[in-house]
Amino acid sequence: MSTSPLLLLSLLPRLDPALLSATLLWTAPLALPLLAALLAPLLPAPRRYPLTVVATLPALLFALLPPAGPPPDLTWLLLDLELGVAGPRRLLLAAIAGVWLAGAVAARELLTSRLGTATVWLVALTGNLGVVLADDLVTLYAAFAVMTFAAYPLVVHDRTPAARRAGRVYIVLSVLGEALLLSGLLVAASRAATTSLDGLAEAVAIGQVPTGVLGLMVAGFAVKAGVIPVHLWLPLAHPAAPVPASAVLSGAMIKAGVVGWLSVLALEAGPPAVIGQVLIAVGVVSILVAALLGVTQDKVKVVLAYSSISQLGFITVVVGVGATDPTRGVAAATAVAAYVLHHGLAKAALFLSVSVTDLLPRRVVLAGTAFAGLALAGAPATSGYLAKQAAKDTVGLLPAPMGDQVTLLLSVGAVGTTLLMARVLVLLTRATAPTPAPGDVPPPPRWSGPTIAWSGLLVGVATATFLLPPLLTDTWPAPRFTASAVVAASWPVLVGVGLAVGAAWLRPRIAGGDRAARWRPPPGDVVVLLEAATRGLGRLLRRGMDVGVRAGDRLRAAGRTVHARVHPLEAFGRLDELLTRWRALGLSFLVVALLLLWTLRP
């Protein structure tokens, strides 16, 4: 028998220094944040802030300087844990760790506010990093789930009714998404007869994993990625969460869905093309619909949430293109990783704009926000320019008519992004500066956490996609700055700016313009209908169960009355009495005779 408590002892000699150091190096990006999470509640509140910031660094270092050599055997953790940073994952790790670092720097107030906040922050961080590093299905799912549940306290941190509602919608959708994901994972692991991602890729390549199963997994991750129609939680959760939490939620955590797609779809192995086609369709719809819904909103963080849905739609299209043909896999995965980096930094910067408005001069904040917004729209000389170029080049790999159509739709989407960013700027301008009450606490120092993080992110927005993708991947295409490329990137931005200016000019000048501008769907749009439906369903279920339980009670009560009225022995006596009557006797004789006759049938 393989198992023995004694085997634990036999592990000891296996601890040779090389293995030990490899194990420590590889697990450090995950183990150190977890240790910090355990340590945080033991420290006094102010110390939790530097601890959290520092705990993000191992992952960033790991992405920039991964240890040489293959990962050590970690199968004694979880169920055969495997880690890896193959393909675009180094870049993804750097992107996600970078966003978390900036978020932590900006989060002093949040991290020191309540006893457990730093802990859940660090646990969510570990989960998010684990999703990137996981090289087997169980670890992937485990990290994903850990991140999901640890993010809930961040969403409901403010304890307001709105936060509680956002948390409810978030957790319900997440649990359902994870159920879809796990059902797919279980069947996939069974079909592949392994949990390693490489094994899964092989099984996908020879068509052993049914399309429906892959679809379940893709749908499960889609809830996190927040594409339409499973985007419902995003426009509620982002405005409800504290600003730094929104920044990491939008900048890093929703990307876990994308990373999950890349991990299970095995783009280079050639998943069924239909999945790619569905993803392209879903992505295009998300890009356009979310932009339309977003521009009507009147809260900065809601507009930013819809912008994230739109941007994730963009990424979804690229993943979809990669999934339609194995030859496009590498290009798509690299483009997705670069886009994740670009969007993570830009979106985190945009969210932090909300909290630096109190700390920096209005003009500086607006300029920085405009720059991040331009990057998001893909204007030249920003990180967005390169990311969008790689993405569009990938889309251009599609066969002739479709490639051009989708590229055009992406450009239209960039117009939408520009409009959303214009909306953000308008709303930020409108926001009134807080009037310091007399005798109030002195204003916070200008160079505090949020401003440092915000400026750092803006530097990243300007430089990251120029520096990191060539450094961390070997599949990054050389960027082009030709005239046609610059024009292709510029016209959607110009059209968007033109439209925004036009709308602002027209609004007071046409009849009903003001009323039209005030019309807006509720944040989270159809979630309102779903909430009403589930409330009704819940009432129905509860009533149904009450009826069932009451029926059970009545049955028992009836049983007791019968028992009380008809004493068993007495009942036998009465039965006997009945039988002695000749009529009954005759009747029973007849019954017995009939039974006998029936048994004699041929």
Partner 1 sequence: MTGGGGLLLALMAASFLPAALIFPLPEAWETTRRTINLVGAGVKVVLVVVLAIGVFTGAQYELRATFLPGIDLVLRADPIPVLFVFLSALLWFTTTIYAIGYLARGDHRSRFFGFFSLCVASTVGIALAGNLVTFLLFYELLTVTTYPLVVHQGDEKARAAGRVYLLYTVTGGAVLLLGTVWLQVVAGTVTFGDTAVLTGLASEQRTTLTVIFVLLIAGLGVKAALVPLHGWLPRAMVAPAPVSALLHAVAVVKAGVYGIVRVVHDLYGAPLATELGVLTPLAVLAAVTIVYGSLRALVQDDIKRRLAFSTVSQLSYIVLGASIVSLVSVTGALAHLVHQGVMKVTLFYCAGILSRNYGISRVSQMAGAGRRAPVTMTMLTIAALGKIGVPPTVGFVTKWHLGLGAADVGQTWVIAVLLASSALNAAYFLPMLSRAWFAREEEVPAHPRAASAAAAVTPAGVRITGSSIIAKLREADLWLLFPAVLTGTSVLVLGILAGLPSSPVDWAEGIARVLFEGRP
The smaller minimum CB distance to partner 1, of residues 6 and 600, is found at 6
Single-letter residue type at 381:
A
Stretches 163-171, 260-268, 356-364, 411-419: which one binds partner 1 (CB under 8 A)?
A: 163-171
Concatenated DSSP letters of 544-592? HHHHHHHHHHHHHHHHHHHHHHS-HHHHHHHHHHHHHSHHHHHHHHHHH
Stretches 4-12, 91-99, 464-472, 474-482: which one binds partner 1 (CB under 8 A)?
A: 4-12
Q: Assess 2 for contact with partner 1 (CB under 8 A).
A: yes
Q: What does the block give as tokens for 129?
A: 């990093």
The smaller minimum CB distance to partner 1, of residues 175 and 575, is found at 175
Q: Assess 8 for contact with partner 1 (CB under 8 A).
A: yes
Q: Which of 28, 35, 61, 78 touches partner 1 (CB under 8 A)?
A: 78
Concatenated DSSP letters of 345-366? HHHHHHHHHHHHTTTS-HHHHH
Shortest Cβ 146–partner 1 spacing (Å): 7
Q: Assess 134 for contact with partner 1 (CB under 8 A).
A: no
Stretches 160-168, 281-289, 370-378, 568-576: which one binds partner 1 (CB under 8 A)?
A: 160-168
Q: Assess 564 for contact with partner 1 (CB under 8 A).
A: no
Q: Which of 77, 273, 364, 426 touches partner 1 (CB under 8 A)?
A: 77
Nearest to 53 by CA among 456, 585, 338: 456
Q: Assess 599 for contact with partner 1 (CB under 8 A).
A: no
Helix (H, G, I), strand (E, B) or coil at 17: helix
The smaller minimum CB distance to partner 1, of residues 408 and 540, is found at 540
Stretches 77-85, 311-319, 335-343, 470-478: which one binds partner 1 (CB under 8 A)?
A: 77-85
The smaller minimum CB distance to partner 1, of residues 191 and 299, is found at 191
Q: Assess 149 for contact with partner 1 (CB under 8 A).
A: yes
CA–CA separation, 141 vs 216, rounded Å?
13
Q: Assess 176 for contact with partner 1 (CB under 8 A).
A: yes
First to last CA, the chain: 60
Stretches 103-111, 168-176, 230-238, 494-502: which one binds partner 1 (CB under 8 A)?
A: 168-176
What counts of helices (H) and strands (E) characterise the chain?
Answer: 25, 0
CA–CA separation, 389 vs 254, rounded Å?
22
- Per-residue interface string for the shown chain with partner 1, residues 45-64, x marking contact by CB under 8 A: xx------------------
Q: For 200-239, give the secondary structure using H, E and C.
A: HHHHHHCCCCCHHHHHHHHHHHHHHHCCCCCCCCHHHHHH
Q: Which of 19, 115, 506, 591 touches partner 1 (CB under 8 A)?
A: 115
Q: Assess 153 for contact with partner 1 (CB under 8 A).
A: yes
Shortest Cβ 91–partner 1 spacing (Å): 26
Phi, psi of 380 (to 5 degrees): -55, 155
CA atoms within 13 A on the CB side of 429: 10
Q: Assess 558 for contact with partner 1 (CB under 8 A).
A: no
Q: Assess 595 for contact with partner 1 (CB under 8 A).
A: no
Q: Assess 566 for contact with partner 1 (CB under 8 A).
A: no
How many residues bind to partner 1 according to rule CB under 8 A? 53
State the residue for tokens 């000048």. 509
Question: Which residues are within 8 A (CB) of 266 and not within 5 positions of it... i.e. 6 or more apart?
Answer: 197, 200, 201, 204, 205
The smaller minimum CB distance to partner 1, of residues 183 and 475, is found at 183
Q: Which of 22, 94, 131, 145 touches partner 1 (CB under 8 A)?
A: 145
With 0-12 / 13-18 / 19 or more C-beta atoms within 10 angstroms meaning exposed / middle / buried, residue 187 is middle
Q: Assess 596 for contact with partner 1 (CB under 8 A).
A: no
Shortest Cβ 133–partner 1 spacing (Å): 15
- Per-residue interface string for the shown chain with partner 1, residues 531-550, x marking contact by CB under 8 A: -----------x--x-----
Q: Assess 601 for contact with partner 1 (CB under 8 A).
A: no
Q: Which of 35, 186, 381, 486 touches partner 1 (CB under 8 A)?
A: 186
Q: Which of 66, 71, 72, 167 touches partner 1 (CB under 8 A)?
A: 167
CA–CA separation, 391 vs 387, rounded Å?
6
CA–CA separation, 415 vs 497, rounded Å?
8
Shortest Cβ 79–partner 1 spacing (Å): 6
Stretches 144-152, 320-328, 375-383, 397-405: which one binds partner 1 (CB under 8 A)?
A: 144-152
CA–CA separation, 418 vs 267, rounded Å?
31
Q: What does the block give as tokens for 43?
A: 């420290």
CA–CA separation, 557 vs 231, rounded Å?
50
The smaller minimum CB distance to partner 1, of residues 187 and 452, is found at 187
Q: Which of 25, 54, 57, 187 touches partner 1 (CB under 8 A)?
A: 187
Q: Which of 61, 109, 114, 299 touches partner 1 (CB under 8 A)?
A: 114
Nearest to 225 by CA among 165, 311, 299: 311
Question: Which residues are within 8 A (CB) of 300 and not within 5 positions of it... i.e. 6 or more apart?
Answer: 353, 354, 424, 427, 428, 431
Q: Which of 93, 105, 118, 171 touches partner 1 (CB under 8 A)?
A: 171
Q: Which of 20, 21, 41, 446 touches partner 1 (CB under 8 A)?
A: 41
Q: Which of 22, 111, 118, 156 touches partner 1 (CB under 8 A)?
A: 156
CA–CA separation, 117 vs 45, rounded Å?
10
Q: Extract long-range pairs of 47-54: CB within 8 Å, 24+ residues apart.
A: 48/111, 48/112, 48/118, 49/104, 49/107, 49/108, 49/111, 49/112, 49/118, 49/449, 51/118, 52/104, 52/107, 52/111, 52/118, 52/121, 52/122, 53/101, 53/104, 53/105
Shortest Cβ 538–partner 1 spacing (Å): 10
Cα 128–chain centre separation: 10
Q: Which of 25, 35, 138, 462 touches partner 1 (CB under 8 A)?
A: 138
- Report the interface residues with partner 1, using CB under 8 A: 1-8, 11, 41-46, 75-81, 112-116, 138, 141-142, 145-146, 149, 152-153, 156, 159-160, 164, 167, 171, 175-176, 179, 182-183, 186-187, 189-191, 542, 545
